[in-house]
A and B are shown apart, each in its own frame.
Chain A
Amino acid sequence: MEKNWPLWEIFVRSKNGLEHRHFGSLHAADAEMALENARDVYTRRSEGVSIWVVESKNITASNPENNGELFEPAQDKIYRHPTFYTLPDEIKHM
């Protein structure tokens, strides 16, 4: 009886100083194989210096249908942005 290889999400740091970014996904039997496959699938042209693999089932994602409740509260808090505050024109570099 054949068991399917699970799905893994692949994150790659393209160079030191940058964050790992989601590159895509692939199937592999375990984490080690996921790393090896990710090397071949996503970094054939030196696109990365570090790879993270996470089994897809371990990712919890927010539901876009709840985007209102989740993200709208930030929209009316303009006082969190520097441009909310008035300064005299003479002030530079602030």
Chain B
Amino acid sequence: MSEAQLKNTGTERSRSLEEIFEQRIANDEKIEPKDWMPEKYRKTHIRQISQHAHSEIVGMLPEGNWITRAPSLRRKVALLAKVQDEAGHGLYLYSACETLGISRDELYDQLHSGKAKYSSIFNYPTVTWADMGAIGWLVDGAAIINQVPLCNTSYGPYARAMIRVCKEESFHQRQGFEIMMSLCNGTEVQKQMAQDALNRWWWPSLMMLGPTDSESVHTEQSMKWKLKRKTNDELRQQFIDQTVPQADILGLTIPDPDLKWNEETGHYDFGEIDWEEFWQVVKGHGPCNKERMNARVGAWERGTWVRDAAMAYAEKQQDKKVNSAKAV
């Protein structure tokens, strides 16, 4: 066979593999790590799963700020448990991502060098205790809306990680709402604090669900691979529809003068999102991008000697075992 013919058979083979692959996904079959997959599927999944893992890890930082200053022991243990869950979620997701043939070290490198992104929302500061309430209620609320459909995604390890994440996430939102509730039932100053937190977190929470559909470059392919089951705009609408009545229960005002129930569509209409701000934050110019990365990279670097010592200790123990076996 000539080289051209050989090459041709190669392409044909991969085309038919790709057709079989797409068919499997269309039939709702799961794809597992050792199955053949198109390179683009692998790359897209590495990008999305790692981005998700990075968000969990960086997401610990804004809340870590308040652990030592939680107003009661009850609040402190809850916040600690929530932050620990986020570390756990990051670990589930990193290990799911590693099944695609990328190492943990490469993943960390991508985060630390700024090559990989994480959720824009974690680049906002947490300036009062009420922010712990608003984050749980709004940010975790938006995350749940985003994550529940992912329990059904086509890549097996990702879907399994997401099932575990979703099971644990609902406590996060409830503890946040409870904080808001307490503040809203408290003194006037406390209620104002809750309102101020809502004012600051509302729009970033809407942005967190991603660019509007017409601007989202990955949506179409991701829908086909069931890596996404609803578009960003659909998720955002769902989030708004479910959150507005909750704000009413709290007696807080959502900072959007254009927000209004639309009888005809059965949804809330809402005002223009400041996408310029969103892209600024994504590109690294948010209020805390630098601070977050410095904290993350610093923690990793300061931990080097601990990781090295643990490895040296493990090797020493192993040597001891081998030597004592030889002696017998």
Contacts and interface: CB of A to CB of B under 8 A. Distances in A.
Contact of A30 (B34, B81, B314): B314
Contacts of A4: 103-105
Given A3-B311, A45-B168, A24 B161 contact: yes
B154 to A, nearest CB: 15
A44 B314 contact: no
A29 B311 contact: yes
A61 to B, nearest CB: 6
A41 B88 contact: yes
Interface residues of A, number: 20
Interface string B288-323: 000000000000000010011011011001100000
A25 B161 CA distance: 11
B84 A44 contact: yes
Size category of the B interface is: 20 to 34
Contacts of A41: 88, 91-92
Contacts of B32: 64
B9 to A, nearest CB: 17
28 contacts: A2-B304, A2-B307, A2-B308, A3-B308, A3-B311, A4-B104, A5-B307, A5-B311, A7-B95, A24-B95, A24-B96, A24-B161, A25-B98, A26-B91, A26-B95, A27-B104, A29-B307, A29-B311, A30-B314, A30-B318, A40-B88, A41-B88, A41-B92, A44-B88, A44-B168, A63-B34, A64-B34, A64-B35
Interface of A: 2-5, 7, 24-27, 29-30, 33, 40-41, 44-45, 61, 63-65
